[in-house]
């Protein structure tokens, strides 16, 4: 049995059962307007990135769904189903203190990824799930990178800041301040350098909003 869970620009996600465990199958669909060879390469590359990063992120102490299966030929991964809500839907109903606590935790988790020399690549509140025991799960690692470059860390935070600004317009500043607090508590001395990069990226006014799809 398979039930459509979500359909994004790039992938379709199905709720299934994997040997008795509720699971999610994420299938990256072919894009008819791309050159077939490039399309195949992109879908395979993002599937590999996602599969590797789910495990790498968990090793750094960030909650992610457990990876059950990878099928590169079909650009498909099967992973643990996280029973919870997206942070996106939660934000409007949270009280100020709850909001601060949540985004402080998100900032800490992003710093852990960065300390573990990786970026997420698409930090939005749709890619953060509030799972059991209030754990914040990170999903959607298809654009993740292995990097130890402060500029890349700045880009990651900049994307999150921009997502907050556009999706949670009334609370975005509160949320982002809490992210910064959590981030510096975990990332330590070099946090200011990262925050300065975020500012530099923003003042430059030109930034990569989307890699070639
Ligand atoms: N492991 C999972 N468990 C529960 N829900 C998930 C899981 N993975 C993804 N989702 C849901 O599906 C949506 C789309 O998945 P995502 O990986 O972000 O794909 P897309 O590239 O289409 O954004 C997410 O916003 C989330 O609501
Ligand atoms: Mg997503």
Q: Tally the domains of the chain.
A: 2
Nearest ligand for residue 140 CA: 1
For 169, the domain range is 85-204
What are the strands, taking DSSP E only, across the chain?
3-7, 11-18, 21-28, 67-71, 76-80, 85-86, 118-119, 128-130, 136-138, 145-146
Q: How remote is the CA of residue 37 from the centroid of ligand 2, in Å?
A: 24
28 with 89, same domain: the answer is: no
Instruction: Judge whether 213 lies within some domain.
Output: no
39 with 105, same domain: the answer is: no
124 with 182, same domain: the answer is: yes
Instruction: Judge whether 60 lies within some domain.
Output: yes
Nearest ligand for residue 139 CA: 1
Domain boundary among 27, 61, 80: 80
121 with 70, same domain: the answer is: no
H or E element, residue 181: helix 172-187
76 with 110, same domain: the answer is: no
Domain boundary among 80, 109, 136: 80
Active site residue 189: no
Instruction: Judge whether 211 lies within some domain.
Output: no
103 with 64, same domain: the answer is: no
Q: How remote is the CA of residue 35 from the centroid of ligand 1, in Å?
A: 26
Measured from the Cα of 80, ligand 1's closest atom is 1
25 with 119, same domain: the answer is: no
Q: What is the pLDDT of residue 207?
A: 47
Domain boundary among 80, 98, 121: 80
92 with 52, same domain: the answer is: no
42 with 97, same domain: the answer is: no
Residue partners of 184: CB distance under 8 A and separation at least 6: 107, 111, 191, 192
Mutate to test the pocket of ligand 1, among 57, 129, 167 (most ligand atoms within 8 A of CB): 129
68 with 91, same domain: the answer is: no
Residue partners of 40: CB distance under 8 A and separation at least 6: 30
Q: Count CB-CB contacts under 10 A for residue 23.
A: 19
8 with 111, same domain: the answer is: no
Q: How remote is the CA of residue 189 from the centroid of ligand 2, in Å?
A: 31
Nearest ligand for residue 83 CA: 1
Cα–Cα distances in angstroms (integers) from residue 31 to residues 9, 12, 39, 95, 212, in the given order: 10, 12, 7, 41, 12
CATH of the domain at 49: 3.30.200.20
CATH of the domain at 125: 1.10.510.10
Residue partners of 129: CB distance under 8 A and separation at least 6: 82, 84, 85, 86, 87, 136, 137, 139
Instruction: Judge whether 196 lies within some domain.
Output: yes
Ion ligand 2: residues, CB < 5 A: 127, 140
Q: What is the pLDDT of residue 211?
A: 54
Instruction: Judge whether 209 lies within some domain.
Output: no
Predicted TM-score (pTM) of this structure: 0.95
Q: What is the pLDDT of residue 208?
A: 54
Ligand 1 pocket at CB < 6 A? 5-6, 8, 10-11, 13, 24, 26, 65, 79-82, 86, 126-127, 129, 139-140
Q: How remote is the CA of residue 36 from the centroid of ligand 2, in Å?
A: 23
Residue partners of 2: CB distance under 8 A and separation at least 6: 14, 15, 16, 25
Q: What is the mean pLDDT of each run of 10 residues along the chain (213 residues)?
A: 92 98 98 94 98 97 98 98 97 96 98 98 98 94 98 98 95 97 98 97 69 52
Choose, from 39, 45, 71, 122, the residue flagged as catalytic.
122
110 with 184, same domain: the answer is: yes
Of the candidates 208, 51, 45, 194, which has an alpha carbon nearest to the alpha carbon of residue 114?
194
Query: How wide is the angle at C-alpha 66 spanned by C-alphas 179 and 17, nearest 5°?
Result: 125
């Amino acid at each position: 049995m398979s039930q459509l869970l979500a359909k994004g620009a790039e992938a379709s996600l199905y709720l299934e059962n994997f040997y008795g465990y509720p699971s999610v199958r994420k299938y990256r669909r072919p894009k008819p307007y791309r050159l077939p060879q490039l399309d195949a390469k992109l879908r395979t590359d993002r599937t590999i990135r996602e599969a590797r990063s789910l495990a790498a992120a968990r090793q750094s102490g960030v909650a992610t769904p457990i990876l059950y299966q990878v099928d590169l030929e079909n650009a498909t991964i099967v992973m643990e189903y996280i029973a919870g809500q997206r942070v996106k839907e939660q934000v409007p109903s949270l009280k100020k203190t709850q909001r601060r606590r949540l985004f402080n935790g998100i900032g800490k988790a992003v710093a852990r990824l960065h300390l573990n020399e990786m970026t997420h690549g698409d930090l939005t509140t749709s890619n953060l799930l509030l799972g059991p025991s209030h754990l914040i799960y990170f999903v959607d690692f298809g654009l993740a990178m292995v990097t130890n470059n402060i500029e890349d860390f700045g880009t990651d935070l900049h994307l999150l800041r921009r997502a907050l600004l556009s999706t949670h317009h009334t609370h975005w500043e509160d949320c982002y301040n809490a992210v910064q607090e959590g981030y510096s508590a975990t990332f330590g001395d070099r946090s200011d350098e990262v925050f300065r990069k975020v500012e530099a990226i923003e003042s430059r006014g030109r930034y990569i909003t989307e890699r070639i799809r």
